Amino acid sequence: MSPIATTRSATGIPTGRLAVWWVIISEIVIFGGLVTCYLLMRLGNPEWAEYASHTSTPAGALNTLVLLTSSLFVVIAHNAAEHDHDGAKAFKFLWMCIALGGVFLCVKAFEYTTEIHHGFTITKNVFWSFYFIATGLHGLHVIAGMVIMAIISFDVKKGKNFQRVELIGAYWHFVDIVWIFLFPLLYIAK
Amino acid sequence: MNIFPVSASTFSGDIDGLFWLVTTLVGFWFILSELLLFYLIFRFRRKKGVKAQYIAGESRKEMAWIFVPLFFVILCDISIDLRTHSVWQKIKETLPQATEKVRVIGQQWTWVFVHPGPDGVLDTSDDIETVNELHVKVNTTTHYELQSRDVLHNFSVPVFRLKQDAIPGRAITGWFEATQTGEYDIQCAEMCGIGHGLMGARIFIDTQEQYETWMAQEIQKQQNYVASK
Amino acid sequence: MSKTDHQVHPSDHGHGHDHEMNFWSKYIFPLDHKMIGLQYLWTGLFMALVGGFFAYVFRMQLAFPGESVPGFGHVSPASYNALITNHGTIMIFWVAMPMLVAAFGNILIPLMIGCDDMVFPRLNRLSYQIFFISTVLLFVGFFVPGGAFGGAWTSYPPLSARAEYNLTPWGASIWLLAVALEIVAFLLGGINFITTTMNSRAPGMKMMDIPIVVWMINIAVVLFMFSVGPLVAGAVMLLFDQTIGTSFFVPSGGGDPVLWQHLFWFFGHPEVYVILLPEMGIVAEIITVFSRKKLFGYKMIVYTTFMVGILSMIVWAHHQFIAGIDPRMASIFSFTTILISIPIAVIFFAYIATLYGGSIEFKVPMLWALGMIAEFLLGGVTGIYLGASALDVYFHDNTFVVAHFHYTLIPVVFFGGFAGITYWYPKMFGKMMSETLGKLHFWGTTIFFNGIFIPLFFLGLAGQHRRIYDYRNFPDLAGMQDLRIFATMCLIGLLISQIPFIINFVRSIKNGEDAGKNPWKANTLEWITASPPPHGNFAEMPTVYRGPYEYSVPGRKEDFWPQNQPS
């Protein structure tokens, strides 16, 4: 039984949304710290441009496309849940999004293997350390998002907790936006 | 009052002066606030039949109680800041011309000092390397080049009021000019591992003659050492 | 939300409900915010004893170098460093944070804003569980090969990043992991604090009717969230440096050690205010109640607190004046640092002004609150010395700094903490604490506290550095041993002075006088319900009609006017 506190809304904003935004802001600060460190060191080390040329821009671009498409599916799922109360449709699009998350991870795994195969490991130099930590941390967020999305999708299918589609959607967009920052910084800027 | 150690560099007096400036300004406010606090506590202690007053502290007149003293606090802040800035500029932002140079190297857990030998140039074969013993000339502007071989250290000479972090991979240059002779402590002022508390050295501020005598001895030692091999 | 809720819950949430719960679900895995708050409080108090014991051991080493310390044995340089490192870590992360932010936040927020629990009780429980694991992990660090980490609580790399430098291959990583987990616990807890305060206030409670302590805890939580993120990223990077040999902070591998200092102090300085603010809130509640006065300039204090928060995020580099940063930066940070004295001065002036025209009663909580103001003033003004960059050249890593921040943190954490504990004890346990033991505790603590740290100011002025194992290595400092012994004796006195508190705390739970609902005749909502409040807090959910500080309102017979009382 949930407390009365949970049902109140003095601000008019649903409590769940407040909480998710809180989580997203704290994550932004964490990734922001990481990206700022990278930028500071990158500016101080011009030779990193050469290291960055060994990352696979096509693979990164493909992944960007995959994530953007998945974000679109989440939006469709959200619309289906919020406006049409169509649990089955929301369920379908959530799973299409999860599938794209899987594609993203496969491409990433392929990239990692090739890079490590060519000797670009995490201890090669600080650029590669940043590369693996930033993309790895982002990858963990993708996995977490997929798991939560799967859990929510089954509820939605049963017609429960429609509002949660919005919450996971917000989170998924955040994960997407982090990638939008990582892609140019680690792949394109040379 | 003699609460500071000996003042032995050209800028140590500035730092002590800044200290007394801050002490005067800040001390005034500190004592005033404490007196006011204790006065109010005493004056408004609970007495039978006396009810507390109802003051919201939101009218303009009441806010003045806060903002008038605050204005003077800001004035004090600004004067401290200006003085700080000029002293800081003298110590850290400017690098006066120097006739002497010495390299200071921190490592776990000793100080290594490289003095230029008789030729006055570092990185030549007559350099004199000492461990935990720094010799400088009095009344001579000296540049130090600070390095570290492993972790962060901090080159601190309390009598000079001098302190600078040593960072591995960098050479940081600073300066001092000793104003009186003597033998004093050098400490490491940045946690550098298990032996941090044992990482002390001594600075010898010599007159020209003392310095030359010492250098002659060192050269003799070096020659004996080479001969013994 | 609905009217039926209000009617159903009282019967549902009364004593009948408590009886259904067994020992485990009530005390070990509770969902009730008050019990989680108490768990934080007990852990914090226990850790304070551990941190105090560490201080005793290393101060004994300083007073009587090389001799065996009773209760510990011989102190080696390695264990000396481990003790000072963990003393700092424990006192900040395992005492100040759980006691001031988590314990009081958990206990007070739902009670003071008039709702029955936090909005996410399970998340709240998870927060404590993670905190508990981090506590265990911290202790594990002492029993691994190589011993506990000894690179100071700031853990500057490269010392902290490479086992060949710090010689604690396991200790360093476990310490870092424990701190990171502790941060995660408080980030999770923060979600509850902020959402509960924003959304679950009692009907009628407007923003400016929220008690100041709730405001300040929330601002502290927001500040914590904004400042700690980069350090979390930094901690991950440092952990990789330690364990798999990356070189983010190691110059020989192309990294930058000063980067860590920026990340650490970008968090480390706001952290001071994360601790300070809740405690300032506690003091505000107490001085209004015991002087029967309205808080002077409530709104101004709230706005000023926001300003403190914002300013505190742009002062961090004053810890690095001599760390090899661009010297021109120093003047900027010196300016912002001295600037932050202004909002803090506003708040303190407002507190002193609150006493004017009051009817001050010297109960134990009030003694602690007034003691805090008096002592913190000295901590605050000595900060001006260190903010001035040129003076910091002399004072950096000097015991003057140690004395300064203990004069801020001890009044904040312990004076403020004891003020809060003695003030809300009747609400937490339904019993009154003994005034006599409380006063004994207060005066003992105050006198000995000053006895420890005033000598440290003078030792610092004489050029004594901190974190030094044995001052006999420095001939210029060897002569001041008497002062060191005096400070150590005072520390022992301080620790002994805590015994009356422990007796008082434990005995009063059973033997104290019954407190009744509102022993202090205070206005805020936690005092309108039973002591201790049942699960669900209020028999009838309150409605709020006015601000929290309407004391001695002219024309009323009583000198207090509870927030929920219709006029």
Q: What is the pLDDT at residue C24?
A: 81
Q: What is the pLDDT at residue C22?
A: 78
Encode pLDDT of A97-137 as tens digits: 999 999 999 999 999 999 999 999 999 999 999 999 999 99
Across the interface, which of C115, C245, C253 has its CB nearest the CB of A5? C115
Cis peptide before C532 (omega within 30 of 0): yes
Encode pLDDT of B14-41 as tens digits: 999 999 999 999 999 999 999 999 999 9
The 3-state DSSP class for residue C269 equals: helix
Q: Of C347, C298, C309, C294, whose CA–CA distance to C218 is shortest?
A: C309
Q: Does C334 sit within 8 Å of B184, measured CB to CB?
A: no
Other CB atoms within a 10 A radius of the CB of residue B220 amount to 10
Put simply, whether C543 touches A (Cβ < 8 Å) is no
Q: What is the pLDDT at residue B1?
A: 46
Give the model's confidence band at A1: pLDDT under 50 very low, under 70 low, under 90 confident, else very high: low
Give the model's confidence band at B172: pLDDT under 50 very low, under 70 low, under 90 confident, else very high: very high
Q: What is the pLDDT at residue A31?
A: 96
Region B198-215 average pLDDT:
94
Residue B227 has pLDDT above 60, yes or no: yes
User: Contact, C335 vs B82, CB < 8 A?
Assistant: no
Q: Which residues contact B12 (CB under 8 A, 6 or more apart)?
A: B159, B160, B161, B179
Measured between CA atoms, how close is C164 to chain B, in angstroms? 10
Region A133-155 average pLDDT:
96
Other CB atoms within a 10 A radius of the CB of residue A107 amount to 17
In SS3 terms, C180-222 reads as HHHHHHHHHHHHHHHHHHHHCCCCCCCHHHCCHHHHHHHHHHH
CA distance A83 to A76: 10
Residue A87 has pLDDT above 80, yes or no: yes
**Chains A+C touching (3+ CB pairs under 8 Å):** yes
In C21-76, where does DSSP find H-type helix? 23, 33-63
Q: Does A13 sit within 8 Å of C199, measured CB to CB?
A: yes
Q: What is the pLDDT at residue C545?
A: 95
Q: What is the pLDDT at residue C14?
A: 40
The 3-state DSSP class for residue B24 equals: helix
Q: What is the pLDDT at residue B119?
A: 86
Region A77-104 average pLDDT:
94
Task: Please give the DSSP secondary-structure letter assigned to residue C513.
Answer: P
Encode pLDDT of A12-32 as tens digits: 899 999 999 999 999 999 999
Helices (H) and strands (E) in chain B, counts: 3, 10
Q: Does B77 sit within 8 Å of C339, measured CB to CB?
A: yes
Across the interface, which of C297, C385, C559 has its CB nearest the CB of B66? C297
Region A154-178 average pLDDT:
93
Measured between CA atoms, how close is B69 to chain C, in angstroms? 9
Give the model's confidence band at C535: pLDDT under 50 very low, under 70 low, under 90 confident, else very high: confident
Task: Please give the DSSP secondary-structure letter assigned to residue B7.
Answer: -
Residue that has been written with the tokens 């207060």 in this structure: C442
Region B155-161 average pLDDT:
95
What average pLDDT is seen over chain A?
93
| Tokens at C78, concatenated | 């390695």
Q: Interface partners of C (3+ CB pairs, < 8 Å)?
A: A, B
**Which positions in chain A touch C11 (Cβ < 8 Å)?**
none
Q: Does B54 sit within 8 Å of C291, measured CB to CB?
A: no
Residue C15 has pLDDT above 60, yes or no: no
Q: Of C55, C78, C80, C53, whose CA–CA distance to C65 is shortest?
A: C80
Across the interface, which of B15, B189, B198 has its CB nearest the CB of C77? B198
Measured in whole angstroms, the distance separating CA C1 from the mean position of its chain's CA atoms is 34
Residue B228 has pLDDT above 90, yes or no: no
Window 72-131 of C, Cβ < 8 Å to A: 110, 115-121
Q: What is the pLDDT at residue C1?
A: 34
Encode pLDDT of C287-298 as tens digits: 999 999 999 999
**Which positions in chain C touch A5 (Cβ < 8 Å)?**
110, 115-119, 196, 199-200
Residue C507 has pLDDT above 60, yes or no: yes
User: Contact, C362 vs C326, CB < 8 A?
Assistant: no
Q: What is the pLDDT at residue C20?
A: 59
**Which positions in chain A touch C5 (Cβ < 8 Å)?**
4, 7
Other CB atoms within a 10 A radius of the CB of residue B171 amount to 12
Residue A49 has pLDDT above 80, yes or no: yes
CA distance C513 to C504: 12
User: Contact, C102 vs C108, CB < 8 A?
Assistant: no
Window 106-145 of A, Cβ < 8 Å to C: 122-123, 125-126, 129-130, 133, 137
For residues C411 and C4, which has the higher predicted lDDT (pLDDT)? C411
| Tokens at C119, concatenated | 């909005």
Give the model's confidence band at C7: pLDDT under 50 very low, under 70 low, under 90 confident, else very high: very low
Region C106-120 average pLDDT:
95
Across the interface, which of C5, C234, C255 has its CB nearest the CB of A126? C255
Residue A72 has pLDDT above 90, yes or no: yes
B80-to-A89, B17, B87, C17, C337 alpha-carbon distances in Å: 68, 11, 11, 62, 12
Q: For B159, name the nearest residue in chain C, comparing CA atoms only.
A: C463
Give the model's confidence band at B125: pLDDT under 50 very low, under 70 low, under 90 confident, else very high: confident
Q: What is the pLDDT at residue C4?
A: 35
Question: Which of the residues C378, C397, C454, C484 would you substitute to probe the B interface, choosing the one with the greatest number of B C-beta atoms within 10 Å?
Answer: C397
Put simply, whether C470 touches B (Cβ < 8 Å) is yes
The 3-state DSSP class for residue A54 equals: coil
Q: What is the pLDDT at residue C25?
A: 81
Give the model's confidence band at B120: pLDDT under 50 very low, under 70 low, under 90 confident, else very high: confident
Region C271-281 average pLDDT:
95
- What residues pair up with C431 in beta bridges, in sequence order? C514
C435-461 and C399-409 helices, crossing angle to 10°:
160
**Sheet containing B141-148: order of strands:** B128-131, B110-115, B100-107, B141-148, B172-177
Give the model's confidence band at C190: pLDDT under 50 very low, under 70 low, under 90 confident, else very high: very high
Q: Residues of chain C with pLDDT > 90: what percent?
A: 89
User: Contact, C141 vs C117, CB < 8 A?
Assistant: no
Window 74-113 of A, Cβ < 8 Å to C: none
Q: Of C141, C69, C212, whose CA–CA distance to C522 is shortest?
A: C212
Tally C-beta pairs within 8 A across A and C: 136
DSSP B34-96: HHHHHHHHHHTB--TTPPPP---S-SHHHHHHHHHHHHHHHHHHHHHHHHHHHHHIIIII---
Q: Residues of chain C with pLDDT > 70: what percent?
A: 96
Residue C10 has pLDDT above 50, yes or no: no
Tally C-beta pairs within 8 A across B and C: 282
Q: Does A29 sit within 8 Å of C226, measured CB to CB?
A: yes
Beta strands in A21-180 (DSSP E): none
How do B141-148 and B182-188 pair as beta strands? Answer: unpaired
What pTM value is reported for the model? 0.94
Q: Is B225 exposed, middle or buried (0-12, 13-18, 19+ CB in 10 A)?
A: exposed
How do B201-206 and B182-188 pair as beta strands? Answer: antiparallel
- What residues pair up with B154 in beta bridges, in sequence order? B165
Give the model's confidence band at C329: pLDDT under 50 very low, under 70 low, under 90 confident, else very high: confident
Question: Which of the residues C322, C446, C561 would you substitute to probe the B interface, choosing the one with the greatest number of B C-beta atoms within 10 Å?
Answer: C322
Give the model's confidence band at C16: pLDDT under 50 very low, under 70 low, under 90 confident, else very high: very low
Residue A46 has pLDDT above 50, yes or no: yes
Q: What is the pLDDT at residue C2?
A: 36
What average pLDDT is seen over chain B?
92
Type of residue at A177 = I
